């Protein structure tokens, strides 16, 4: 298995180098628009561009080999799955064809929860939003600073999940996006929290979902419940995933 993991790693490096060489050739090509507009590009500049491309591929969150806060390392191929291209807050269509502004809907698989889906349309995946303490008033900045602090204090490996660690990828005034990785297989899950106008004065919307596979064996529920519990200790009204109201999820994922 270790030898296979090394071969897989070498293959990734080779592919990255091929891409960078291709980028370099494109830059020095006489058909390159930048060259035709402003003259030729030096070999040194081309090399720098190719090396920068390799550094980007090697260091980006999607291609890096695990997160710094992982509990252990495994020399085996990772199955991260592609990052969904429609994460974030945007206009969407619900399952009955009505337009709304919210987070990405879950689909049919029992491996996702989201608070912006209508509970009447999708009770299996809907969860309540979180509300920051009343004493914060309209201080959204304070609320999101506390959300960031809470996420950063998350314990990789709790309840035997997310042992590969996690990282906040996007940290904005009204939106936080975090990636989590499983320990052995390197599956990636996506967690989003967002303030969206029209959903309540102090409400924060939540979405946690697996990228690949059909079942999650309770991972997303455990992650949400861990973070929600921490927020409740800080005065938030932060419900978790109630198994009694999500029996289809419990049964399919064989949660005891």
What does the pLDDT look like over 128-180, one tens digit per residue?
Answer: 999 999 999 999 999 999 999 999 999 999 999 999 999 999 999 999 999 99
* Section 53-66 average pLDDT: 46
pLDDT tens profile 172-229: 999 999 999 999 889 999 999 999 999 999 999 999 999 999 999 999 999 999 999 9
pLDDT at 73: 77
**Of the ranges 37-41, 76-80, 97-101, 170-174, which one carries the lowest mean pLDDT score?**
37-41
pLDDT of residue 95: 75
Q: What is this structure's pTM?
A: 0.75
Q: Hey, which bits of 4-158 come out as E strands? A: 90-93, 99-102, 112-114, 130-131
The answer to whether 216 touches 110, Cβ cutoff 8 Å, is yes
Summarised one tens digit per residue, pLDDT across range 5-27 is 444 444 454 544 444 444 444 44
First-to-last C-alpha distance (Å) of the chain: 32
What b/e readout covers 238-255, taking b as 16+ CB neighbours within 10 angstroms? bbbbeeeebeebbebbee
Residue with the larger pLDDT of the pair 27 and 113: 113
Is pLDDT of 80 > 80?
yes
Q: What CA–CA distance (Å, rounded) separates 172 from 111?
A: 26
Q: Are 35 and 28 in contact (CB under 8 A)?
A: yes
């Amino acid at each position: 298995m270790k030898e296979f993991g090394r071969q897989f790693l070498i293959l990734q490096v080779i592919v990255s180098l091929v891409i960078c060489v291709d980028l370099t050739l494109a830059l020095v090509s006489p058909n390159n628009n930048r060259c035709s507009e402003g003259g030729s590009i030096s070999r040194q500049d081309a090399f720098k561009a190719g090396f920068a491309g390799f550094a980007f591929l090697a260091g980006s969150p999607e291609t890096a080999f695990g997160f710094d806060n992982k509990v252990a390392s495994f020399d085996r191929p990772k199955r991260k799955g592609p990052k969904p291209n429609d994460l974030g807050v945007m206009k969407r269509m619900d399952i009955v064809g009505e337009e709304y502004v919210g987070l990405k809907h879950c689909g049919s698989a029992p491996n996702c929860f989201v608070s912006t889906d209508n509970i009447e349309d999708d009770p299996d995946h809907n969860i309540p939003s979180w509300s920051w303490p009343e004493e914060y008033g309209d201080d959204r900045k304070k609320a999101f600073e506390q959300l960031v602090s809470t996420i950063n204090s998350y314990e990789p490996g709790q309840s035997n999940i997310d042992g590969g660690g996690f990282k906040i990828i996007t940290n904005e005034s009204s939106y936080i996006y975090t990636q989590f990785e499983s320990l052995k297989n390197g599956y990636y899950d996506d967690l989003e929290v967002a303030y969206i106008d029209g959903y309540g004065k102090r409400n924060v919307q939540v979405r946690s979902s697996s990228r690949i596979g059909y079942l999650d064996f309770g991972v997303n529920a455990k992650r949400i419940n861990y973070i929600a519990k921490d927020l409740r200790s800080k005065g938030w009204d932060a419900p978790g995933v109630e198994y009694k109201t999500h029996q289809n999820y419990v049964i399919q994922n064989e949660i005891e």
